[in-house]
Amino acid sequence: MVHGIRIALFLWAGSCAIAPAAGQDSGDTGNPVYDQRFFDRTQPSNAYEMVALLPAFTIAEGMADVRGYSGVAGNVLIDGQRPAGKTDTLEAILKRLPASRVARIELIRAGTAGYDMQGHALLANVILVKTGTIGGRIEAEQALYRHGLRAPRVSAQATFDGRGRVIDLFATVYREIDDEHGFGVRNRFASDGTPLRLVDYAQPEGADVAQATLAYRQPLFGGTLRLNGLVQDKRKFADIAHAVIFPAPDAIVGSERKHARTYEGGLRYDRALGPADDLELVGSYRSVTTVGIDRESTAWEYSVSDERSNASEAILRAALRHHRGGATIEIGAEGAVNSLDVRNALVEDGEPVPLPQANVRVAERRAELFVTASRPFGARTMAEFGVRYEISRLSQTGDIDLVKSFAFWKPRARLVWAPAPNRTIRLLAERAVGQLDFGDFVGAASLTSGTISAGNADLEPDSLWRVELSYERRFGAGSFTLAARREWISDLVDQLPVVVDGVLYDAVGNIGAARRDTVEASLKWPLDGFGARGVVVTADFVARRGRATDPATGERRPISGDLPVEARVALAHDIPAWRLRWGGSYAFARTETAFKVEEIEADHLAGRLDLFVEYRPDARWTLRLFGKNLTDSAATRTRDIYAGIRGDGALRYRELRVLRSGRYVGLTVQRSFGG
């Protein structure tokens, strides 16, 4: 009965609010456009919060770890273009843009002429105000954690806008604390539950980051040239302490340090070649140098793990789009040169320990040709077809010499049907091919977990066929979306046993065919119609069920790393008369499991509550007080360690690690200046 009442209320709210919300219009293409009036009732402070309010839209970050641009870009544009860099996330870029700099946001649907959708059904195009002045923002933040940890942040952003030339400068220095680590226990138990080792354990983790970015834009030869650069210095740290209580008092101390320096530069040039043709050129270069040193010592032992790597990526992409009468065709090509040079070492008590494939250089040359076409069929239906052809040559030198070549066809077809102005149904069928992680070719040691993994030179990319059906319902400023997806996977990349010089190791490898089913739902529900003006409820839910054949046991099991359930609900209440905004979110518990050769590792993160209050004394100042992990939720890792390959060996012990970072609170102060 109660469930039926909830459904009725939801349907009533949707049916009584179908009219466009204030500040929502339809552009020349028929796509919805949201101007400042749409956001006045919610007082967002930056572009990220504005995009998050768009009905039926969810931000999808680009996959920075995937090499190249094609098919991996995010779904947010700024002034019609994607950021040329890959290090900065969309969230970070959008949060740097004050809401006052946003003139409007266009929601672009698949098939819209002149846009490269990169496989997304929707794009959000953030159009900035052309002020012709100097403006910016200064921000200071401090977060206080239990056990005396602190996370300060200082940022400054400035924009110089004049005569068609725009310069954006940004710099920040901050410390981030990993709130999934902290202080607790790390105990071991026999298969019958008898304690084998009881330990008070500490593993606080974080990183100190300094970053500066530069973006420049100007007209050139009838088009627009965009340049960007980034320098980032990131120093991760973890201080580890075991205070052994049972079976005998003992102390083990350790540390993890990783220093990464990133340099990135890119350019993007786009130009109209006529009323129906557009040209886009993109080029970028990125290099990352990493040094990681892990140490662990007891009264009688001392171990050091040393990992050093140099990675680089150079990309050049060109695309030509022709659009006429609602139809669009795009053709293009992309080339990339990637490399990774790794040198890993492990020393125990002054003696080097051999690691399998620890010194490896991997180089890749890759090219991709693509063509995409879309056209409307009547007023309510649109079809999109595309195909990409990828060829690559991968070489490994060092501890192993190997050359491989790959070639893949990647077709995609999407059908969009709008049976009513506020409803959309989409059907997608495509083939996708994964990319190999170069780090999986290299052997490495982890002192924290006490494991050594082998590199796998024979690793090949997995591929899949995907079919997805989605439904979108919009009601005023709110929306409900539902999607169901099935994937048939070939050559799944997971964990498998590898024998090197007669020794068994865990490695990443191809374990055969698999299948994954996914259901996603998202709700954005303004409660103005119920008398709760300014209150917006959002909820997101994802359920996955993957099945693969375990190479260690021969039995069917979930896919390593898949989260069976992810769920989050949030509420925000804006009170413009008081210049106040408050709200919170609750992330439900989730568990991630990895099936390794001699162990099963499950990471469980309990549900977490976050709250915030934001006050604006005037148009330039913003004060935000926040509290996170207010439930003091634990991060629990369970490791079942077997004597040999799982399925053949008995359970040696179960290790239970429970860590808490504790509740933490913080204050953010922002001051904007200029136009």
List the one residue out of 42, 61, 94 whose CA is nearest residue 570.
42
Does residue 239 lie in a domain region? no
668 with 141: CB under 8 angstroms?
yes
Residues 571 and 616 in one domain: yes
Whether residue 550 has pLDDT greater than 90? yes
For residue range 585-597, what is the model confidence (pLDDT) as tens digits? Answer: 999 999 999 999 8
pLDDT at 496: 85
Q: Is residue 565 part of a domain?
A: yes
Q: Are residues 146 and 92 in the same domain?
A: no
The number of domains in the chain is 2
Q: Which of 26-30, 32-36, 554-558 has the least mean pLDDT? A: 26-30
Residue 542 lies in a domain: no
Residue 583: domain span: 131-177+550-675
Whether the pLDDT of residue 1 is over 60: the answer is: no
Same domain, 85 and 142: no
Question: 591 and 673, same structural domain?
Answer: yes
CA distance 335 to 339: 14
Nearest to 467 by CA among 449, 447, 483, 446: 483
Are 76 and 24 in the same domain?
yes
463 lies in some domain: no
Task: Decide which of 570 and 129 is more confident.
Answer: 570
Residue 149, token pair as written in the block = 């940890």
pLDDT band at 2 (very low <50, low <70, confident <90, very high): very low
Q: How many other CB atoms sit within 10 Å of the CB of residue 69? A: 22
Q: Give me the pLDDT at residue 5, please.
A: 36
CA atoms within 13 A on the CB side of 165: 2
Domain ends where: 98, 129, 160? 129
Report whether 508 contacts 456 (CB < 8 A).
yes
* Residues 600 and 625 grouped into a single domain: yes
* 177 or 57: which leads in pLDDT: 177
Could you tell me if 45 and 145 lie in one domain? Answer: no
The CA distance from 417 to 158, in Å, is 43
CATH number at residue 20: 2.170.130.10
Tokens of 13: 């709210």
Is the pLDDT assigned to residue 41 strictly greater than 90?
no
229 near 264, Cβ under 8 Å? yes
CB atoms within 10 A of CB 107: 20
Domain-embedded: residue 585: yes
- pLDDT at residue 30 in the model: 66
In this structure, are 172 and 77 located in the same domain? no
DSSP category for residue 41: T
Residues 117 and 5 occupy one common structural domain: yes
- What pLDDT is recorded for position 626? 97
* Encoded tokens for 76: 């947010």
Are 554 and 675 found together in one domain?
yes
Residue 8 belongs to a domain: yes
Return contacts of 20-28, CB within 8 angstroms, 24+ apart.
20/476, 21/476, 21/477, 24/477, 27/106
Asked if residue 225 lies in contact with residue 218, where contact means CB atoms within 8 angstroms, the answer is yes
149 and 116 assigned to the same domain: no
**What is the rounded distance in angstroms from the CA atom of residue 660 to the CA atom of residue 497?**
33
Residue 23's φ and ψ, nearest 5 degrees, are 90, 5
CA dihedral for 431, 437, 441, 443, sign (positive or negative): negative
pTM: 0.89
Q: With contact defined as beta carbons under 8 Å apart, do 33 and 106 qualify?
A: yes
Note whether 88 and 141 are same-domain residues.
no
Q: Is the pLDDT of residue 162 over 70?
A: yes
pLDDT at 134 over 90: no
Evaluate whether residue 599 is within a structural domain: yes
| Chain centroid offset of residue 336 CA | 22
DSSP assignment, residue 646?
Answer: B
Q: Which residues are bridge partners to 244 per DSSP?
A: 199, 250
Q: Which residues pair with 320 in a beta bridge?
A: 279, 331
Q: What is the pLDDT of residue 29?
A: 52
Q: Is residue 608 part of a domain?
A: yes
Beta strands in 476-564 (DSSP E): 478-490, 493-500, 503-510, 514-526, 535-549, 556-557
Last residue of a domain, one of 129, 156, 189: 129
